[in-house]
Amino acid sequence: MSPTILLTADTIAARVHELGREISERHRGESVVLVAVLKGSFVFAADLARAIDDSVTVEVEFMSVRSYGDSTETSGVVQITSDLTRSIEGKRVILVEDIVDTGLTMAYLLENLRTRGPASLELASLLHKPARARTPVHIDYLGFTIDDVFVVGYGLDHAQRLRNLPYLGVLEES
């Protein structure tokens, strides 16, 4: 059972380059810290970081989060399983996420990071599924809005697999 292609590698690459250009324009001459939310955003974050031009000074940090609840529906109770290794106080932070689904994970994480006193806090998300939103989350840099389908590839998994697909695909139930 192989996934049906939703967004090709070329389509994703073109959009990620546009997002990199937007970040470069908005932060020209400044320093930003990209905080990639593991594991899902590792591919997007790697490509996005390289799409930001050298007029911006870029640092990269990682966090891991786990959401309690069953495997398909997040509960909104989020546990940070691996935290930042450096302070973000006074820094311009861009949180990098794979997908905003119910929005509960990002709502929690944005609030958590805000308490640490960053100079600014923005969100870059590759995907957004507005049909499933349970709490509003402002996405400053959005790749694609998608329908309510379960997507895999380009970092996103199903039971930890398929993250390595170079495209975004939809898993058909069978």
Smaller CB distance to Mg ion: residue 47 or 98? Answer: 98
Is 101 a residue of the active site? yes
The residues that touch ligand IMP, with contacts defined as CB under 6 A, are: 40, 67, 74, 97-106, 150-151, 156
Q: Which residues contact 64 (CB under 8 A, 6 or more apart)?
A: 37, 38, 39, 80, 81, 82
Beta-ladder partners of 156: 153
Q: Cis peptide leading into 39, omega within 30 of 0?
A: yes
Rounded to 10°, the helix 9-26/42-51 angle is: 50
Smaller CB distance to ligand IMP: residue 11 or 67? Answer: 67
Of 78-86, 93-101, 113-121, 165-173, the segment contacting Mg ion by CB under 5 A is: 93-101
Shortest approach of ligand IMP to residue 81 CB, angstroms? 13
Judge whether 6 and 170 are in contact, CB under 8 Å: yes
Judge whether 41 and 97 are in contact, CB under 8 Å: yes
> Catalytic: which of 10, 70, 101, 147?
101
Smaller CB distance to Mg ion: residue 50 or 66? Answer: 66
Residue of minimal Cβ distance to Mg ion: 40
> What does the per-residue mask of binding to Mg ion show for 22-41, with x meaning CB under 5 A?
------------------x-
Shortest approach of ligand IMP to residue 59 CB, angstroms? 22
What is the distance of C-alpha 26 from the center of its chain? Answer: 19
Residue 104 contact partner, candidates ligand IMP, Mg ion, none, CB within 5 to 8 A by sort of partner: ligand IMP
**Of 50, 45, 25, 21, the residue nearest 35 (C-alpha):** 45
Q: Would you please indicate which residues are annotated as catalytic (active-site) residues?
A: 101
Residues in contact with Mg ion by the rule CB under 5 A: 40, 98
